[in-house]
Amino acid sequence: MKDKKLGLAINAFEGTEHIYNILREIRDLVDYVVIGLQKTSYLGAPIDETDLAEAKRLVEEDHLADKVMMIETDPKKFSRMQETDKRNKLIDDLEANGCTHQLVIDSDEYYTHNAFQRARDYVYDNDIEISYCRYLNYFGSGRKDDYQTYLVYPFHDGNYVPFIAKIKYRFDWQCKDFTKPSDPTRRYVRPKTYKKDKNGNYVYKDKEKTKPIIDQYLVDYYEFPWKDLKMHHFSWIRNNIRKKMKDWSSRVYFNDWYELVDKATDRFERFCEGDKTSDAILLFNTPGNKVELHNMERQYVFPEVDISERAKYVPHDPNVVAINVGNRDWFGTVEQLLKHKDKEFFVLFDNQDSLKEISSKAKELSSYLEDDSLLVADAWGDHSVGGVDTIVPCHSVMMSRMTVTRLLAHDNNFLELSGLCTPLEIVGLALQRYYGNIGIKYIQKLRIAAEV
């Protein structure tokens, strides 16, 4: 096998807390490792400095990866096409570094050592061009002794990912050369010939003549049997599950994705607290967006560390705009500010606070706002707003961009309260209405936020 060189490319943006365990398990079986990042997600969100720092740490301190590659994607393209392009650029890097074979995985895809070694050797010994295997999706806390709960997706034939292939192959968005349930951003293009009529003209299956009929494939692929190889997909195991869903490229398929993110996060948090029922809520096209949870009889994978051990958060200066809401229509103001995508957080304050004081508190407040969680305030109070008892922020409040989006998109009744309530009271009532509509106890969440 001296003439073989296997390159491992890890497509990452969030979920980097898994990469240490992934590489500790199989690093001796691959020859070159590159971690591919990008400055902004496929949907335009900036990368979390924590993920960037973790990727660099894997190279510079742990010496498990050879390179961190920053990849530019084209924001004009559909998000899933950007993802396909990124994967191909990672393969280009593997080829440029002398790899004869490739494996492109995401930052939460784990293989056990012995199964990986046998499968790699089988690919080498049988000169296999392209291979695929099935996978299992996990759900849980990320403690190293808590990898027994899995998601039962409704695919009768199982779900597949590409495994090792020769370096010359690339992916194509929505390629049909592998027809079983799989990620459309990573299906290998196989060499093929097309049907021709008796005059030597291509035969098409559409009137527009854009889809020629395939005659035969010139290269086959190999599917590893379930008993021989499986990928353990830590898809719903995260230090911050909300961040995963917010940055997921498939989010665009759901018009109400922000509601689903809130429901899924609430379910995930309750699961981790021990309230284990029979299903999870995901960004997934099933009735009620629910997927069954099953428990294995015993644990089959044994990551080296709890993923929380890799959670070394890096503080950063938030991009904050402060608005005095004492005597203005802050909804109208914020609606305009949302057009500026560089703003992460909004601090609303009334006349009792000064802009200078708010600005000094902004960085401290933002440390309690992980991504798109609710909001934080310097004080809270129980009020009757429009005849409804709720808990509302007092004096000043810091909200994430997504919280503001929720308010503007889901509560058009705030105008009825204008002049009767303060803007901050309207914030509390609007959020209570939103979370009440999706079945989440908002007041409980606010009280938790108030304790920080």
- Per domain, the residue ranges of the chain are 6-254+303-310, 320-450
Q: Does the global pTM surpass 0.85? A: yes
What is the rounded average pLDDT of the residues 374-397? Answer: 76
Give the tens place of pLDDT for each residue, 291-335: 888 899 899 999 999 999 998 877 666 677 777 776 567 777 777
pLDDT confidence of residue 90: 98
The pLDDT, as a whole number, for residue 92 is: 98
d(CA 321, CA 134): 47
Average confidence (pLDDT) over 181-207: 90
Is residue 5 predicted with pLDDT exceeding 90?
yes
Contact assessment for residue 118 and residue 164, using Cβ atoms and an 8 Å cutoff: no
The 10 Å CB-count burial string (b at 16+, else e) for 94-121 is beeeebbbbbbbbbbbbbbeebbeebbe
Q: Are 31 and 46 in contact (CB under 8 A)?
A: no
Q: Kindly list the distances between the CA atom of residue 311 and the CA atoms of 69, 334, 368, in Å, as whole numbers in the listed order.
A: 21, 33, 15
In terms of average pLDDT, the best of 2-6, 207-211, 374-378, 392-396 is 2-6
- Per residue in 397-411, pLDDT tens? 777 777 887 777 766
pLDDT of residue 359: 64
User: Hey, which residues does 134 pair with through a beta bridge?
Assistant: 160, 230
Assess whether pLDDT exceeds 60 at residue 4. yes
pLDDT (average), residues 379-401: 78
Instruction: State residue 382's pLDDT score.
Output: 82
Say which residue, 116 or 397, is predicted with more confidence.
Answer: 116
CATH code for the structural domain at 6-254+303-310: 3.90.550
Give the pLDDT band (50/70/90) at residue 452.
very low
- Report the interhelical angle of 401-410 vs 257-272 (nearest 10°): 120
